[in-house]
Structure 1
Amino acid sequence: MTTAFNPELDLILEREVDVSPAELWQAWTTPEHLKQWFCPQPWKTVECEIELKPGGRFYTVMQSPEGQQFPNTGCYLEIIPEQKLSWTNALQPGFRPADTPPQSPGHECAELLMTASITLQATAKGTLYTAHVLHPNAASKQRHEAMGFEAGWSAVLDQLLAAIKQSR
Structure 2
Amino acid sequence: MTDQSLDLEISRLLNVPRARVWKAWADPAILKEWWCPRPWKTEVRAFDFYPGGAFHTFMSGPDGGESDNPGCFLDIAPQERIVFTSMLVGGWRPASPWLAFTAILTMADEGSGTRYVARVLHKDDAERQRHEELGFYDGWGACISQLEEAAQNV
- Superposition TM-score tier, normalisation by shorter sequence: over 0.9
Give the structure with the larger strand fraction: 2
**Pick from 8, 23, 29: which aligns with 1:11?**
8
TM-score (norm 1): 0.85
CA distance in 2, matches of 1:92, 1:157: 24
Check the 8 A contact 1:31/1:48 in 2, yes or no: no
Structure 2 match to 1:42:
39
**Aligned to 2:83, what secondary structure does the other structure show?**
strand
Q: Deviations over 1:108-142 (max 9, x none)?
A: xxx21110011001111311100000011100001
The offset of 1:22, in angstroms, is 1.1
CA distance in 2, matches of 1:92, 1:112: 13
Runs (5+) with no aligned partner, structure 2 = none
Say if 2:141 is the partner of 1:159. no
What is the number of residues matched between the two proteins?
154
Aligned-pair identity in percent equals: 42
- The letter for the 2-side match of 1:6 is Q
Give the RMSD, CA atoms, in angstroms. Answer: 1.6
Structure 2 match to 1:105:
none
**Pick from 110, 122, 140: which aligns with 2:109?**
122
Check the 8 A contact 2:23/2:151 in 1, yes or no: no
Q: Deviations over 1:74-112 (max 9, x none)?
A: 1110000000000001011111111x2x2xxxxxxxx21
